[in-house]
A and B are shown apart, each in its own frame.
Chain A
Amino acid sequence: MSPRNAAVTGLGIITAIGGDVPSFWGNLLAGVCGIEPITLFDPSRYRSKKAAEVKGFDPRRYFSHRQLKRLSRCDQLGLKAAEEAVVDSGLVLAGENREKIGVFIGGGAGGIFSAERYRREMLAKGWRRVQPSLLLPFATSAITDALAERHQILGPRATVATACSSSATAIGYALSLIRSGEVDVAIAGGSESLSEVTFGGFNSLRSVDEIFCRPFDLNRKGLSLGEGAAFLVMEEGERARQRGAKVYAEILGYGLTGDGNHMTAPDPDGNGAFRAMAEALQDSGISPGEVDWINAHGTATPANDLAETRAIKNLFGRRAYQIPVSGIKSMVGHCLGAAGAVEAVASVLSVKEDKIPPTIHYQTPDPECDLDYVPNQSRSRTVEVALSNSFAFGGNNTVLVFGKWKK
């Protein structure tokens, strides 16, 4: 019996550059920038005033007044994207064995956008006058429980909270449990909403670019925050084949490492990133020579992009210069807990469509970051294997590997 593998049979996404998969993918290839002035809170006193905010999202279209009382913005974005993925998969969950379906979600600050409002009003008016229901969806796992409840899913669930790599790890965990047979279907992804705490935090660390982030550019000054949600429906391969599902790609493997170095700075040589990529390839049974595209972490902080570039060169040697490396955060911003899932969706589509999204805002080459960063224009190119990098605060690194589905 061949080992169990995992097919991606459904996708869903909501980001600043698209509220569903077709618009996201179209804008991603067209190089549309979603980084614009913030409207969710007043940014006027900050040095930077922009982020990749999801606009035109009216939760009342999707949720009842009663439901909304218990859902943070993070949950709303997540449920919307997950719904698209489930519908896209063609699975009717009510007719499935829901004990063998799992929910694996990565998050960051969870319901902090609601909690923030609570705290602001509490300071202004005293706590007896504030709506405590704002605190109900505070937990990062609220989205996981809400999604499982919505579809009456009875299988395992887990919520990963490793900031910028959370949802990549959640997807990896889902793969582990599909392989082991614990689940047959997994809904995996992540969700994050902007909040003043995270915005203020990254601003206080001076790691935000005031204009827009410019991954791998010589003049890069930092990241642009984003928000959004992205989900994959993952399915045991044989099962997907038997039901004649449309399969986008296969998730071949993943790697997980720790820098063990510093809370906010990456290991300067990118050692943790290097090992995460190497382990991901090993887990996938793929040699470095087979990788066609790297969907970089590319936050556009001076240190991250250099460390990531060094890691890629160390792993791929001279071939590093032949592998296109894209930083899509230049368009969708850094969606933190959702970033890994947003980039996973882009990677899956890339493998399916043989198209590579660009790194936009790329103007001036950096002599130390001298790889092919796909500047400003998307490309058509066969993508048999794509690597998707997610490296978090604290040195929590996760790398996912996607490959073409072999019928």
Chain B
Amino acid sequence: MTGIKGSDEIVITGIGIVSACGVGKEAFWANCLGGRTGIAPVRSFDTSAYRSHLGAEARDFNPKDFMPPLKYRRMSRVSRLAVAASIEALQDAALEASPQSASSLGVIIGTGYGSTSQTDDFFVGMLREGPEGANPSLFPDTVPNAAASQISIYHGWKGPNTTFSHNEVSGEQALAYAYCSLQEGRAEALLVGSVDEFSAVLFHSLAAIRALSPKGPGEEGMRPFDRRRNGRVLGEGAGILVLEKKRRALERGAKIYGALVSCASTGGPVAINQYENGAEQMGRAVQNALKGAGISPSEVDYICATANSSVELDRAEALAIQKVFGRASLTVPISSLKGHIGDFCGSGVLRAAALLLSMENGKILPTLGLKNSEFDLDHVIDQPRTRPIRYALLDGFSFGGSNVCLVFKNER
């Protein structure tokens, strides 16, 4: 999709974050700058039956800090995470729905698996006790669109409402569709986010299909781009942004974090659940995103990588960046946030939120866990790097071959 300029630009005016590395954007940013990671031994259930024991659980998250118990009592964890982040984002954007504006305010969410824990509870109840064991109060939140629906119910936002569920680019797809809808004039402002929860059943499933670190020999851990990386560490969280047209944001005197200037999607013809052979189409997504923004690779000040410590994805991403950026790949800083927040399907908008905070503060977060890189890239390691950011690229690459890359621009 081609980029747009001027007052028709789409800008971000609110950020909400719930993560293992901090609840609320202030705490998140302070923890990230302090070099803290959200990854730790799993506490919410017993992992002794598995080879993997680490996770990034949002332990500091208490829904009560955001809303009264009556509101969240019937929500699954994934809905609670998302609604909480949306409350922060809306407060940050100082935006409230009025009866006149409600139908022009929409919600677009991405989630990989939705409420895995509640779905499992519901089904196990049925398996154990038959139809009588099916708890009707659990069922509504088992649908993947529950989080988006709960957000719209909570805030009374009645405009376009939809949910994308596409593996690790669920959030990036939500952003791409939000961009498209705002351009088409389907809404005035959108809450756009992505979310997934850490649950025993999801951890079990990923362990069963051997999708978690340690795959093969070596110590368990999240080490994006590192030679010793051996798989992903599961995380959870929600990132929610408020997107609106620049004209509208300026009219209401909103704070502008940055503009989303381009989105590009491509598909790699790879098998479901695999990253292999995806580099070429990943590269084309990057290239098209830069083209849409009207910039050359050397104008990019920061690449927020997808790299999740899996052998194949990190290699494919590095190859794609090297191919598109050429010599500039040695001088454009790149880092992955997965060492802070863990890896989960609905991490895309949380990564976008972190990118915008990097842009605001002129600080690029390091790739935690990276010691000895396999790839010749300008990695940010150990310490945050101070650097003004005009343009930043968000890579979104998923197993199964779906790629969505986005370019953000500093408006200051």
Contact = CB atoms under 8 A, between A and B. Distances in A.
Contacts of A162: 143-145, 148, 161-163
Nearest to B177: A173
A191 interface: no
B149 A161 contact: no
Interface string A11-54: 00000000000000000000000000000000001110000000
A76 B163 CA distance: 23
B139 A163 contact: no
A153 B111 CA distance: 24
Contact of A201 (B122, B144, B164, B173): B122
Interface in A363-398: 392-398
Contacts, number: 246
Nearest to A143: B272
A301 to B, nearest CB: 14
Nearest to B120: A119
A79 to B, nearest CB: 12
A262 B153 contact: yes
Nearest to B156: A260
B46 interface: no
B105 to A, nearest CB: 9
B139 A204 contact: yes
A396 B165 CA distance: 15
B161 A257 contact: yes
A45 B131 CA distance: 7
B47 to A, nearest CB: 13
Interface string A158-190: 111111000001000100110010100000000
Given A153-B267, A196-B126, A201 B142 contact: yes
Contact of A159 (B106, B122, B157, B166): B166
A141 interface: yes
Given A163-B145, A205-B136, A275-B103, A197 B162 contact: no
A120 B161 contact: no
Contact of B158 (A123, A160, A260): A260
A392 B145 contact: yes
B284 A99 contact: yes
Interface stretch (B14-22, B204-212, B316-324, B355-363): B204-212
Contacts of B42: none
Interface in B153-194: 153, 155-167, 173, 176-177, 180-181, 183-184, 186
B328 interface: no
A135 B116 CA distance: 13
A336 to B, nearest CB: 9
B119 A148 contact: no
Nearest to B126: A200
B166 A395 contact: no
Contacts of A314: none
Given A262-B153, A275-B103, A144 B145 contact: no
Nearest to A151: B269
Nearest to B149: A394
A124 B63 CA distance: 35
A123 B273 contact: no
Contacts of B164: 158-161
B269 A154 contact: yes
Interface string A105-120: 0011010000110011
A73 to B, nearest CB: 15
B177 A263 contact: no
A19 to B, nearest CB: 24
Interface in A119-140: 119-120, 123, 127, 130, 132-133, 135-140
Interface string A239-254: 0000000000000000
A152 B280 CA distance: 13
B402 A145 contact: yes
Question: Interface extent on B, as a size class?
Answer: 35 or more
Residue from A45, A163, A180 having most chain B Cβ neighbours under 10 A: A163
B162 A256 contact: yes
Nearest to A205: B136
A176 B106 contact: no
A156 interface: yes
B94 interface: no
Contacts of A268: none
Residue from A155, A161, A393 having most chain B Cβ neighbours under 10 A: A161
A103 to B, nearest CB: 7
B296 interface: no
A320 to B, nearest CB: 21
A115 B127 CA distance: 13
Interface in A53-83: 70
A138 B153 contact: no
Contact of A257 (B103, B265, B272): B103
A167 B269 CA distance: 22
B266 interface: yes
B406 to A, nearest CB: 13
A137 B136 CA distance: 26
Contacts of B166: 139-141, 144, 157-159
B330 interface: no
A304 B184 CA distance: 29
Given A156-B265, A203-B134, A256-B160, A139 B140 contact: no
B139 A116 contact: no
Contacts of B209: 132-133, 135-136
A273 to B, nearest CB: 12
Interface string B126-137: 111011001110
Nearest to B183: A180
Contacts of B203: none
B113 interface: yes
A60 to B, nearest CB: 20
A148 B173 contact: no
B145 A396 contact: yes
A264 interface: yes
A169 B145 CA distance: 13
B158 A257 contact: yes
A135 to B, nearest CB: 5
Given A107-B165, A205-B140, 17 more contacts: A70-B271, A119-B123, A123-B127, A140-B165, A153-B269, A163-B143, A176-B180, A176-B184, A180-B1, A201-B134, A203-B134, A258-B157, A260-B161, A263-B74, A392-B145, A394-B140, A394-B148
27 contacts: A70-B272, A119-B120, A119-B127, A123-B124, A135-B205, A139-B112, A145-B270, A154-B266, A158-B173, A158-B176, A159-B164, A161-B145, A182-B1, A197-B123, A200-B134, A203-B131, A206-B136, A256-B162, A257-B103, A258-B161, A260-B157, A260-B158, A263-B149, A392-B145, A394-B145, A395-B153, A396-B162
Pick the 3 closest A-B CB pairs, nearest first: A394-B149, A258-B161, A156-B265
Interface of A: 45-47, 70, 99, 102-103, 107-108, 110, 115-116, 119-120, 123, 127, 130, 132-133, 135-142, 144-146, 148-149, 152-163, 169, 173, 176-177, 180, 182, 196-197, 200-206, 256-264, 271-272, 275, 279, 392-398
Interface of B: 1, 49, 74, 102-103, 106-107, 111-114, 119-120, 122-124, 126-128, 130-131, 134-136, 139-146, 148-150, 152-153, 155-167, 173, 176-177, 180-181, 183-184, 186, 204-205, 208-210, 265-273, 281, 284, 400-402, 404
